[in-house]
């Protein structure tokens, strides 16, 4: 089944575009599409993120179509048993998930980013999950943020994050059936 990768700047309209595309696909393929599923990676750790999550929830509720929301801030593999052939799945978003992965374990004193091999293991697991979902005949919309127009940071951790995100983006695009970039509400189809 198809994988559609959608990236763009912060508040560029990419989530709206992805939701609209997923709903359209769901309605078009309704005889085969089982459910419309939203995998949410956001965690409301501050007021800004809480507002963003509430806005996304309100946007989905206003669509007059039922979304099943699955919270998966750390491990996308936990969603596999909940998905079936024919589901239309939107995952929002890779950048939030990667941030969560970087700092998972922080409350225990050692975040993943400081544990040798931890991030690589999480990314390998993510890739296996994506491949499994595609084998399950799930239509998969993946949303991410484009962070590569920013100047380099002096922080090694931030640069590692950008490098890993860039590598993930390249991998997603390489296996995607379609790839879009949204900026200022303008959609550019790259693949």
CATH number of the domain located at residue range(s) 3-109+147-155+164-189 in this protein = 3.40.50
Q: What is the mean pLDDT of residues 47-65?
A: 68
Mean pLDDT of 72-81: 84
Q: Could you write out the DSSP letters of every residue in 69-111? A: EEE-SS-GGGGGGG--TT-EEEEE-HHHHHHHHHHTTGGGT--
For 94-135, the pLDDT digits (tens) are: 999 999 999 988 778 899 999 999 999 999 999 999 999 888
Angle between helices 156-175 and 118-135 (to 10 degrees): 20
Is the pLDDT reported for residue 2 higher than 60? yes
What is the rounded average pLDDT for all residues in the chain? 86
Residue 22: what pLDDT? 93
Ranking 8-12, 34-38, 53-57, 73-77 by mean pLDDT, the lowest is 53-57
Summarised one tens digit per residue, pLDDT across range 31-40 is 566 899 999 8
The pLDDT value given to residue 69: 87
Entry pTM: 0.86
Check 16, 25, 56, 81 and give the catalytic one.
56
42 labeled part of a ligand binding site: yes
- Concerning whether 56 is annotated as a catalytic residue, the answer is yes
Quick count: other Cβ atoms within 10 Å of Cβ 16? 14
Q: Is 44 labeled as ligand-binding?
A: no
- Is 166 assigned a ligand-binding role in the annotation? no
Q: How confident is the model at residue 91 (pLDDT cuts 50, 70, 90)?
A: very high
Q: Is 55 annotated as a binding residue?
A: no
Is 11 annotated in a binding site? The answer is yes
Residues pairing with 188 in the sheet = 181
Secondary structure letter of residue 150 according to DSSP: S
CA distance 97 to 154: 23
Identify the CA nearest to 67 among candidates 31, 25, 19, 129. 19
Please indicate whether residue 147 or residue 94 has the higher confidence score (pLDDT).
Answer: 94
The strand pair at 3-8 and 139-145 is best described as: parallel
- What pLDDT was estimated at residue 8? 93
The residues spanned by each domain of the chain are: 3-109+147-155+164-189
- What is the structure's pLDDT at 137? 85
φ, ψ for residue 161, nearest 5 deg: -60, -50
For residue 144, say whether it is annotated as part of any ligand binding site: no
* Distance in angstroms (rounded) separating the CA atoms of residues 117 and 99: 16
**Looking at the predicted structure, is the pLDDT value of residue 41 above 80?**
yes
């Amino acid at each position: 089944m198809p994988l559609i990768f959608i990236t763009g700047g912060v508040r560029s309209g990419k989530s709206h575009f992805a939701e609209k595309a997923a709903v359209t696909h769901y309605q078009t393929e309704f005889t085969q599409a089982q459910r419309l599923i939203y995998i949410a990676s956001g965690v409301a750790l501050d007021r800004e993120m809480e507002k963003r999550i509430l806005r996304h929830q309100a946007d989905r509720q206003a669509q007059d179509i039922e979304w099943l929301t699955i919270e998966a801030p750390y491990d996308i593999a936990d969603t596999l048993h909940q998905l079936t052939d024919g589901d239309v799945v939107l995952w929002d978003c890779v950048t939030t998930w990667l941030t969560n992965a970087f700092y998972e374990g922080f409350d225990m004193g050692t975040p993943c980013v400081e544990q040798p091999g931890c991030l690589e293991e999480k990314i390998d697991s993510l890739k296996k999950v994506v491949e499994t979902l595609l084998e399950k005949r799930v239509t998969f919309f993946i949303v991410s943020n484009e962070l590569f127009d920013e100047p380099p940071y002096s922080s090694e951790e931030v640069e590692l994050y950008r490098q890993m995100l860039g590598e993930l983006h390249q991998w997603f695009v390489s296996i995607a059936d379609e790839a879009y970039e949204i900026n200022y509400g303008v959609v550019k189809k790259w693949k």
